[in-house]
Structure 1
Amino acid sequence: MNNFLFVSAENDAIPDCKAGGMGDVVRDVPRQISEHGDKVHVVVPSYGRLHQDGIFKTSLYFNLRGMGYAAELYEVKPKKEFPNIIHYVIHHPEIEAGDIAHIYHNDPEEPFYTDAVKYFIFCTAVAEAVKRGAFGDLDVIHLHDWHSSLLLFLREYHEEYTVLKDIRFVYSIHNLAIQGIRPFGDNYSSVENWFPNVRFDYDALKDYRYTDCINLMAVGIRFADSVHTVSPSYKQDVLKPSSPPEFIGGEGLELDLQKANEEGRLIGILNGCNYKNINQEEKGFIYRNTVKALFGWLQMEDKKYKADFLAHTGEKIMEYVGNRPKFIASSVARLTEQKFYFFMRSPEAFVEILKKLEKVDGIFMLLGTGAPEYEELFRQLSYEHKNFIFTNGQSENLIDSIYLESDLYFMPSLFEPCGISQMLSMRNGNPCLVHHTGGLKDTVSHMKTGFTFDGDTYDEKIKNMLAAFDTALDVFSNDKEKWKKIQANAKRKRFTWKKSVDKYYELLYNLE
């Protein structure tokens, strides 16, 4: 039996420990490994709260900042039990909950200041737990994004943790743009402050742009035995330099990624999608679920600043309760540059889409929260356009209803390492309209399972996005047979975790 350790900032297998798609992956991959008959330990920070109902396992003592530190390892109960999977959290008073999903801190003045401190402590505690045999004899340690890459720094340079050299390390990139860049010194949140007695190679760790800083995303890419992108097409994208907004590629790390690729360490494997244990709403509840969510938010103190808007959305949705529109286009996503840059830069293109929908008695439903300027843009557009329903909040039941009842799922991401929304939508037989990039390229085929757009320049992309929307509406209205075929093809597509994890074993883990 092989023995794995997953180290991550998020894990959706336990309650209240998810901010994005990484949490889904860290939930689903261990379940598939368990089906292989192998054992998995999954460890995340406690963020001052997740340990509270856990079972205390051991205290961990280690040195940081030239002094003794003590953290605690707890075993915690998952949402669902699976054989051979054990979930843990590490508690230390300085590993606090942030303002993003009670996980990450937002430090606009000095990016990653607080998070780096949290993950320095967390990773050192994990290294100590591995050294102490808390997870047994490990064959593979699988790290996720920059938050866990410090383990590779410890493996390379820290004389206390040479035991890590005997274990295979795999590093998955979920968000290449967020790199965990911190100064080498002269700062509380710096490597020299936290590891004053560790001698390391500055050149091997430095960021190319800020040469007095460590780049923790780069550390993962440079030192892991295998580096994993979450789709094959995204692997090709990151080997090229970014040229925003037309193209988002290696984000300044393309030389490291090219080197990893030349060494045979860079592997692109598409994420899977969950086709079991699906929490599904019944059809016909999309408007009721919207109203229910809105009433819930109206009673919350932290939503008071947008109470007027929530009431406005409720009033709009009531029109459709007994009068279903003929066509629903939808999007569910965090409101960020990655997901909606095209609409922020060209609101008139989005208005054009709403006008096209009006002609076929259609509406556009968008659900999400995120960057204040994106929320503000969509709230303004909602006031101005009757057929745009913007639900400015998060509700699992409503998200399920949207995936279930939409006619067309719209995903105009600027870049997309893999994307899960299009898979969830296709699972319900909904054609998707997507930007032909990254994982969207690997999952949606134009006129077969959905619709795609691309272009060499920004203006071309916008023009082609509107043309693809016209094509989708034209097929829906005038070629029912073709539409049904696209729906059936989308529903038949299966991006299973079994397929993905079989490739993990062969190409990442080097296990047969």
Structure 2
Amino acid sequence: MRNFLFVSAENDALADCKAGGMADVVRDIPRQIAATEDQVHVIVPAYNRLHKNGRLITELKFNIRGEETVAELYEVKPKKEFIGIAHYVIHHPEIVEGNIAHIYNDDPEEPFFTDTIKYFIFNTAVAQAIKQNIFDNIDVIHLHDWHTALLLFHRKFHQDYAILKQSWFVYSIHNLSLQGIRPLNDNFASLNNFFPEVGYEYEIVKDDRYNDCINLMAVGIRLADEVHTVSPSYMQDIMKPSHKPEFIGGESLEEDLKRAFAEGRLHGILNGVNYHNMRVAQKGKLYPNILRQLFKWIQEESKKYKADILANTGEKVVNLIENPPSFVVSSVARMTEQKFYFFKKQPEALKEILTKLEARNGIFILLGTGEPEYEMLMREISYEHPNFIFINGQSEDIIDSIYLESDLYFMPSLFEPCGISQMLAMRNGVLCLVHHTGGLIDTIDTGKNGFSFKGENITDTIANMVASFDSCMDVYFEDRVKWNKMRRKAKAVRFSWENSIKEYYSKLYTY
């Protein structure tokens, strides 16, 4: 029996510990590993809240900024119990709750400042827990994105944590565009301020664009035993240089990635989704679920934009109950450049789509939170267009209903490492319209189980997006036989974790 440790910033096996698709992966893969009768431990930060109903295991004492500090390790209960999986959180006063999904912080003046502080502390606490053998001799340590890469720094350079050399390290890239870049010196959230006693090789930690900075994503790629991207096409994309905004590639790390590929350390394995033990929405509850959640939000003191929630979104949804639409389009995503750059670049394109929808008694439901300028744009457009329902929040009940009751799921991502939303929609037989990029290439077969668009440049791509949207509606309203055939094919596709985990064992867990 092998013993695994998953280290991540998110874990959707726990309540209120999700900001994006990485949380789904960290929830699902341990379940597949446990099904093989191997043992899995999963650990995330507590963010000053997730430990409160947990069981204190031990205190962890370690040095940061030249002095001793103390963190606490708690075992916590997941949303669903599985034999062979244990879940933990690290509590420390400086591992704070963020303003993005109560996890990450948005520091516009100093990107990654607050997050670097909390993940520096989190990683060091995890290293100390391993040193104290809390998890009973770990064979494989699986890290996720830049938030956990400091463990590889500790393995390579920190003499207190030489024990980490006894484990096999896998590093998964979920989003290469977020790299955890911070100064080496002269900053509170700098590497040398937190670990003044650790000598390291500059060439291994440096950012190739900012020579006075550490790049934690680069550290993960350079030092892991195996490196993993969440789809084969995304792996190919990131070994090429970026040409923004037309193409998002390696983001300055393409040479490191090509080197890892040449060494046989880089692998592209498509994420999966659950087809068993999943939350199932009840048909016909989309609008009631939205209204129920809206009323909850307006009672929360911290909830922003209550006037928008009640007088704009709520009023529209009440009207939909009495006057149901003929065509429902939806998106569930973070309000970021990655997900909605095309709308921000050319809002007229979204307005044109909404006008075309209105002519056919169609609506567009968009659910998500994120960057303020994207949220503001969507709120403004929602006031202009009665058939645009912008739900500025997160709700599992609404999301499950959206995946079940939409006619078309829309993913206009600028780039997409894998994408889980399209798989969840397809699982219910909902057809998707996606940008032909990254993992969306690996999951949507255009004209057979979904629709896609692309272009030679941004203007061309946006024009093709609008045209493709027209084509989708034409098929739905004018060729329902073809539409239903495509729906059956979409529902029949299986992106199973069972298949993915076989590749994990054969390519990643090969120590």
Whether the 8 Å CA contact 1:309–1:379 is kept in 2: the answer is no
Report whether the alignment pairs 1:350 with 2:350: yes
Report whether the alignment pairs 1:101 with 2:96: no
**Aligned positions, number:** 511
Query: 1:277 corresponds to which residue?
Result: 277
How far apart are the structure 1 equivalents of 2:111 and 2:127?
25
Once the 2 structures are TM-superposed, how far is the Cα of residue 49 of structure 1 from its aligned partner? Answer: 2.0
Once the 2 structures are TM-superposed, how far is the Cα of residue 486 of structure 1 from its aligned partner? Answer: 0.4
Once the 2 structures are TM-superposed, how far is the Cα of residue 304 of structure 1 from its aligned partner? Answer: 5.0
Query: 1:196 corresponds to which residue?
Result: 196
How far apart are the structure 1 equivalents of 2:304 and 2:475?
43
How far apart are the structure 2 equivalents of 1:71 and 1:363?
49
How far apart are the structure 2 equivalents of 1:270 and 1:87?
25
Once the 2 structures are TM-superposed, how far is the Cα of residue 32 of structure 1 from its aligned partner? Answer: 0.5
Query: 2:469 corresponds to which residue?
Result: 469
Report whether the alignment pairs 1:208 with 2:193: no
SS in 1 for 2:250: coil
**CA offset digits 1:200-244 (Å, max 9, x no partner):** 111211001110110001000000011110000000110111111
SS in 1 for 2:19: coil
Query: 1:185 corresponds to which residue?
Result: 185
2:260 counterpart letter in structure 1:
A
Structure 1: 5+ residue runs without aligned partners? none
How far apart are the structure 2 equivalents of 1:393 and 1:71?
32
Query: 1:131 corresponds to which residue?
Result: 131
Report whether the alignment pairs 1:48 with 2:48: yes
Normalization by structure 2: what TM-score? 0.97
Query: 2:395 corresponds to which residue?
Result: 395
Once the 2 structures are TM-superposed, how far is the Cα of residue 310 of structure 1 from its aligned partner? Answer: 3.2
1:293 counterpart letter in structure 2:
Q
How far apart are the structure 2 equivalents of 1:293 and 1:422?
24
2:415 counterpart letter in structure 1:
F
How far apart are the structure 2 equivalents of 1:412 and 1:304?
26
1:265 counterpart letter in structure 2:
R
Once the 2 structures are TM-superposed, how far is the Cα of residue 309 of structure 1 from its aligned partner? Answer: 5.0
Query: 2:221 corresponds to which residue?
Result: 221
SS in 2 for 1:141: strand
* Greater displacement, 7-16 / 308-317: 308-317
Query: 1:367 corresponds to which residue?
Result: 367
**CA offset digits 1:94-113 (Å, max 9, x no partner):** 22222222222222221111
Once the 2 structures are TM-superposed, how far is the Cα of residue 265 of structure 1 from its aligned partner? Answer: 0.7
Cα 1:308–1:229, aligned 2, differ >3 Å: closer, same or farther? closer
Aligned pairs for 1:133-148 (under 5 A) are 133-148=133-148
Query: 2:301 corresponds to which residue?
Result: 301
How far apart are the structure 2 equivalents of 1:342 and 1:120?
35
* Greater displacement, 214-223 / 304-313: 304-313
Whether the 8 Å CA contact 1:294–1:311 is kept in 2: the answer is no
Query: 1:240 corresponds to which residue?
Result: 240
2:328 counterpart letter in structure 1:
I
What percentage of residue pairs aligned between the two structures are identical?
Answer: 64
SS in 1 for 2:89: strand
Report whether the alignment pairs 1:19 with 2:14: no
How far apart are the structure 1 equivalents of 2:48 and 2:357?
47
Whether the 8 Å CA contact 2:327–2:361 is kept in 1: the answer is yes
**CA offset digits 1:46-87 (Å, max 9, x no partner):** 222222222222222222222222222221111111111111
1:66 counterpart letter in structure 2:
G
How far apart are the structure 2 equivalents of 1:141 and 1:20?
21
**CA offset digits 1:172-195 (Å, max 9, x no partner):** 011111111111112221111111
Query: 2:162 corresponds to which residue?
Result: 162
Whether the 8 Å CA contact 2:298–2:309 is kept in 1: the answer is no
Normalization by structure 1: what TM-score? 0.97
* Greater displacement, 405-414 / 178-187: 178-187
How far apart are the structure 1 equivalents of 2:306 and 2:244?
33
Cα 1:472–1:47, aligned 2, differ >3 Å: closer, same or farther? same
Structure 2: 5+ residue runs without aligned partners? none
How far apart are the structure 1 equivalents of 2:242 and 2:204?
22
SS in 2 for 1:418: coil
